[in-house]
Amino acid sequence: MPYTLPPDVEWVQSYKAVPQATGFLDLPRELRDLIYQYAFGIEGAIFIYSTDAYHVRRNAKAVIVRHKGLGPQSPLAISKSVPISLFRTCKQLHAESLPFLYSRNLFRLYASNTDFAPRYRGYVRNVVFSTDSMIHKQVFDRNVETVGYAWRRRFWPDVLQKSKRLLTTYPNLQTLTFAIKSSKPGETWRPAFMAAENRTRKQRVAVAAAWMRPWCPFANDLEEEKLRRCLLLEIVPGSPGPGSRGEGKDEEEDEYRGSRFEPEEEWDCGEFAEAWKLCVGWDEMHGKGKGKEMEARVRVVEAANP
């Protein structure tokens, strides 16, 4: 896709020291773009964990981290995966490769005020931001009423405030994902409003979407409409440690199968992400043509629980 350079990013054509020599810039732009895509495409996410305010030039510290099963098992220095020297070769290469580093990759931020060079902000398209589980610990309560109160009074206003700040900093975001991590280490949070027994996945998703809709209001203005089109809420899966459920799991299930002591089926936290998309009408907004059947289910649930 074509990109428009920000006014402070200068495209200057490079010239060869030896006109007869064949160089990288002699390749057609289509081939150069394929090379940029391969060179600057990153599996996982680029984790911006701090900004050095005392550096002469604003210097963001970053590593590549694993995200949704992709990327290195342990944090990897960005210089070991991204050819920074190619990025700094000349102004023409710098301008051509910018979109492939900033627009095609996912950036994970530690704080909503984390930032890097202003000239690159307009390129950033995808950001993941983690919520602070200690601030919103009542959201993890097992009581639905307690969760609803904490969600509306503290959690949702905090999400809106930080999202607007990020959207102001990065005005061309396509996805802004808030990753919700359990307050208990290693645990995958299951919201109280999704603990629906004896229901199918579609039914649980519909119930959760109907629950979230009144608790996640968006103002009827341009800023929040723009936010509604890019905001995603997801739950971070827990990391099972040694001795957790998983070792000997099959034997345990066989031993208690059919009895009231049979272990509870593991919950797929992807249901929450599905419920959020249904709540805000994500598929309809992005022209995917899905979700009409699920929307009908939500309306049935809302009618049954006014």
Q: Which of 90, 83, 96, 101 is nearest to 41 (CA)?
A: 101
User: What gap in Å lies between CA 131 and CA 148, rounded to an integer?
Assistant: 17
Exposure of 210 in the CB half-sphere (CA atoms within 13 A) = 19
Determine if residue 71 is left, alpha or beta; phi over 0 gives left, psi from -120 to 50 gives alpha, anything else beta: left
| Residue pLDDT tens, the chain, 306 long | 445 555 556 656 777 777 777 888 889 999 999 999 999 999 999 998 765 545 545 556 789 999 988 999 999 988 888 888 888 888 888 888 888 999 999 999 876 566 677 788 889 999 998 776 556 788 889 899 999 999 999 999 999 999 999 999 999 999 999 999 887 888 888 999 987 777 888 989 999 999 999 999 999 889 999 999 999 999 988 876 544 444 444 454 455 455 544 444 567 899 999 999 999 998 888 776 554 554 554 454 455 555
Parse the chain into domains and list their residue ranges.
24-238+266-304
